[in-house]
Structure 1
Amino acid sequence: MILITGAGGMIGSHLIERLSCNEKKENVIASYYKPTIDMKEIEGKATFVETDVRYFQNVYTLVEQYKPQVIYHLAAQSFPGVSWEKPQETLETNVIGTANLFEAIKLLRTKESYDPTVVVACSSAAYGYVSEEEVPISEDHAMLPLHPYGVSKVAQDLLTHQYWATFGIKGIRVRIFNTTGPRKIGDVCADLTFRAIQIEKGYIPPALRVGNMENRRAILDVRDLVSALILLAKKGAPGEVYNASAQRVYAVYEIVEIIKKKLGLPFEVTVDPALFRLKDEPIIFGDSSKLASATGWKPEYDLATTVRDMLQYWREKL
């Protein structure tokens, strides 16, 4: 039995699709709350249970009923910008939600034999500001986040380690770097590909609004991340932490050029100061060699392929 929390998010939806190819629907339990995706797109591919992880009894009931042997803990408020507007909700979901999951496992273990593997979706946002000379970042880099979301991910990360060190609950931490793909919202690739298709369809004038053009990101395809999560559930070491990052860095202006090439339409590019974040890392790029060494993982999708598939997704949705 497999449990995915946060199944109503982009990563969770792709994980469900991958697992549904190999597992029976009734063996994949997918909890969700306030989905950010269209749930109809994954309808019938798992057993869905609405669960607000901020409340312990909800989480305990879920774990007690299904007793999953593998748990992918993806449930989160995952937008840095929103975390400035809703810091309390971000901390409750990401930190208390994680504590609730481990406490549910801990309580069930007092009643019966239960020893699941828990793969926890942590974040590169935990690292915060990193200079050009420090990238790619390794797992032993200091964690000095720039926003409440990053703070919540540090706490989630350390809770996972602590429940392993103290209670022997097999938590595996994955510090996920920028990841995108179809169904993603709220990141640079999602925003730009969405606006590009709006231009293609004539819904908005042919001017692509962008934020900071110089920021650079190593952007991982969600399908490669799903492969990493599944491999870590099988081969990752409990208590350990692994970076999951793409292996090439792109500036925003390079992403715009990829979109132009894929779309084949002329349009202007305008910088909109309103799209700049309050605090933002100039470069985000992780060293994934530990993950690769432990599991044999290697990214298969380049950014041009990811952008192509995102453009097609928005084309069909609009």
Structure 2
Amino acid sequence: MDRVLITGITGFVGSHLADLFVGQGVEVFGFRRYHLSPMRNVAHLEDRINWVDCDMIDPKAVAGAVKEIMPDTIFHMAAQSFVSPSWDHPHLYMDANYQMTVNLFEACLVNDINPRILIPGSGEEFGEINEDELPITEDTILRPVNPYAVTKIAQDLIGYVYHRSYGLNVVRTRAFNHEGPRRSNVFGIPWYAYQVAKIERGLQEPVLKVGHVDDRRNFTHITDMVAAYELAISLCAPGELYLIGSNEETDVHTFREAVEGIIARSTVDGIRYEIDQRYVRRTQVPLLICDPAKFVSLTGWKPTLGFERILDDTLGYWRDQLS
């Protein structure tokens, strides 16, 4: 890898990928939407990233930006990833998760380049899973239950189409829950940590408002996930699908365990939590636990930071943000 383009570089995963590759001395390029992209996650790297202004919904802008960069590696992290608003804005999610991906692929074809491109799918694509179907594998049937998941399936399959039709080096992954510093507080664990940090500073009553907490997941620390993505882009076969997520028994937990673990770390006694229907999805996905054996056997990837570290780092991050 000499010229790495990270779309969505100012987001959660994109910023951690930037940390990884800037630290390795790789030449890193990032798209930003002119003055609209929040820079908080990459402020410490801003002068070490080559910035290109590009609105990825505009195919001509994407083609021009790719021509300017001519990357040999692309991590396509630009997306809408928070599930709940996808019911109210399905067209926006299709634009962000499908159309922007098509624009990126077309830009590569127009500029006659064939970089390795990683597209990060989601465990949400599997949707309704029965207990007897666990753990989830690459062959598990997809039963999506929200518009977000449908758009990610569309993104994944168009990646397969462009690989089969044009020979693009598209690496297809489906990542299960990954957490840690910089994840937006609209998501479960950072939402719990954010509220506890507010309570510790006297900015909120000692009651956490939460959504459904009995869903089970295998949780992976963001540091381990970006390490997995680096292995995937280097070693995985284009066109093939790989599931990524910690397979350690100690990393399979419910959100109830997460919220109680965050509360237990607080400096304030007596904090409790209650279900608030505003944070409950229209349809739940109770079970998302994967078997990453295919990926692990190919790459040798092994997570090093467990569930307890996720809770420590997430709460520490939100304490810092509110200090």
Note whether the superposition's TM-score is higher than 0.5.
yes
Among 313, 316, 321, which residue is 1:317 paired with? 321
Residue number in structure 2 paired with 1:121: 120
CA–CA distance in 2 between the matches of 1:42 and 1:189? Answer: 26
CA–CA distance in 2 between the matches of 1:83 and 1:43? Answer: 31
Residue number in structure 2 paired with 1:205: 205
Partner amino acid for 1:13?
A: S
CA–CA distance in 2 between the matches of 1:57 and 1:47? Answer: 20
CA–CA distance in 2 between the matches of 1:105 and 1:124? Answer: 27
Residue number in structure 2 paired with 1:181: 180
Partner amino acid for 1:292?
A: V
**How far did residue 41 of structure 1 move?**
4.3
Partner amino acid for 2:111?
A: L
Q: Which moved more, 1:11-20 or 1:206-215?
A: 206-215
CA–CA distance in 1 between the matches of 2:38 and 2:305? Answer: 24
**How far did residue 125 of structure 1 move?**
1.6
Identity %: 32
Count of equivalent residues: 312
Residues 135-174 of structure 1 correspond to what in structure 2 (within 5 A)? 135-174=134-173
Residues 1-318 of structure 1 correspond to what in structure 2 (within 5 A)? 1-24=3-26, 27-33=27-33, 34-35=36-37, 38=40, 39-109=42-112, 114-185=113-184, 186-247=186-247, 248-266=251-269, 267-318=271-322
Q: Indicate if the aligned counterparts of 1:10 and 1:36 stay in contact, CA closer than 8 A.
A: no
After superposition, give the CA deviation of every residue in 1:79-98 in whole Å (9 maximum; x if it has no partner): 11121121111101111111
**How far did residue 312 of structure 1 move?**
1.1
After superposition, give the CA deviation of every residue in 1:266-317 in whole Å (9 maximum; x if it has no partner): 2122221221111120111111111111111111111111111111111111
**How far did residue 49 of structure 1 move?**
2.1
In angstroms, what is the RMSD of aligned CA positions?
Answer: 1.4
Partner amino acid for 2:13?
A: I
Partner amino acid for 2:167?
A: G
Partner amino acid for 2:59?
A: F
Q: 1:134 to 1:37 in 2, by over 3 A?
A: farther
Q: Indicate if the aligned counterparts of 2:200 and 2:267 stay in contact, CA closer than 8 A.
A: no
After superposition, give the CA deviation of every residue in 1:165-188 in whole Å (9 maximum; x if it has no partner): 111100001101111111111211
After superposition, give the CA deviation of every residue in 1:114-135 in whole Å (9 maximum; x if it has no partner): 3210111111121111111112
